[in-house]
Structure 1
Amino acid sequence: MAAPFDQHVTFLYAEDPEASWRFYEEVLGLPLAQDQGSCRIYAVAPGGRAFVGVCRARGPRAADNPRLEGGAVVTFVHQDVEGWHARLRAKGIEVASAPAYSAAYRVTSFFFRDPAGYTLEIQRFERPDWPAPGG
């Protein structure tokens, strides 16, 4: 069965969007798909199917804990988790810990924050039942 939607966009809101825009463009290297003025949308994966939008917030964040209702963790899937960890540290990004394997979820990942305080994760699935990119 095909996925029920054609594309996906996750929108994040920042009180200082310029700092976040620099982070997503210069640190993560995401290509700009569309600049809407107060919101920029970046391509996350090839094929024009997954995007992250970073927009000017209309008010302060309600809570810092991403695992509370209304919170979010944005996960980027890549086979070279360790390489991404080294790349981010080399750019001066604070990363709480080294990549680690989770037996409960069968993934290897690490977490960090963007300039607006969102929790980001870079993850590799260590399970054969996860769909391969492009398939």
Structure 2
Amino acid sequence: MPPEPFAQAVTFLYAEDPAPCRAFYAEVLGLPMVLDQGRCAIFAVAANRAFLGICEARGPRQLQEARSEGGSVHTFVTADVDGWHAHLRAAGATDLTAPTLSKEFNVYGFFFRDPAGYLFEVQSFRAPEWPGA
């Protein structure tokens, strides 16, 4: 029998200067900081079920293409994709793409980068079998 299921998840991102990311997550995305560990700050996402940590990097970035092996894309799921797009556009988010429907994955969303260059996606699942929040 497997152990008790995971209750929460934290994704840690690393930046040479984490201060702009901290401000971006708190002020632009409106995420509450739940723990400040000095070199790392952890923000709550999705009603304290998922968390995003931004930490001071220990060295230079090793990977430039997020969607290659070893890379990652961090996705926020919401029913209000267009509202988030307008908000991020007004806030000056970089590499902001237009919202589109991916027929391959049956999702509607867009991409942007945070101040450290990490790739994020905001999307809504169109598949009826996706578990709601």
* TM-score where L is the length of structure 2: 0.94
Which stretch of structure 1 is more off in the superposition, 50-59 or 88-97? 88-97
- Where has structure 1 moved over 4 Å in runs of 4 or more? none
**Residue of structure 1 equivalent to 2:89:** 89
| Unaligned stretches of 5+ residues in structure 1 | none
**Residue of structure 1 equivalent to 2:112:** 112
Checking the alignment, whether the CA contact within 8 Å between 1:78 and 1:124 is kept in structure 2 is: yes
| Unaligned stretches of 5+ residues in structure 2 | none
**Residue of structure 1 equivalent to 2:32:** 31
What does 1:48-63 align with in structure 2 at a 5 Å threshold?
Answer: 48-63=48-63
Opposite residue 86 of structure 1, the aligned amino acid is A
Tell me by how many angstroms 1:93 deviates: 1.3
1:17-60 CA distance string (max 9 Å, x none): 001111111111100010000000000011x2110100000011
Checking the alignment, whether the CA contact within 8 Å between 1:74 and 1:120 is kept in structure 2 is: yes
CA distance in 2, matches of 1:72, 1:114: 13
Opposite residue 100 of structure 2, the aligned amino acid is A
Opposite residue 9 of structure 1, the aligned amino acid is V
What fraction of aligned residue pairs are identical, expressed as a percent? 58
Tell me by how many angstroms 1:70 deviates: 1.7
Give secondary structure in 2 for the equivalent of 1:61.
coil
* TM-score where L is the length of structure 1: 0.92
Give secondary structure in 2 for the equivalent of 1:121.
strand
**Residue of structure 1 equivalent to 2:41:** 40
Opposite residue 85 of structure 1, the aligned amino acid is H
Checking the alignment, whether the CA contact within 8 Å between 1:89 and 1:95 is kept in structure 2 is: no
- CA-based RMSD of the aligned residues comes to 1.1
**Residue of structure 1 equivalent to 2:69:** 69
Tell me by how many angstroms 1:69 deviates: 2.0
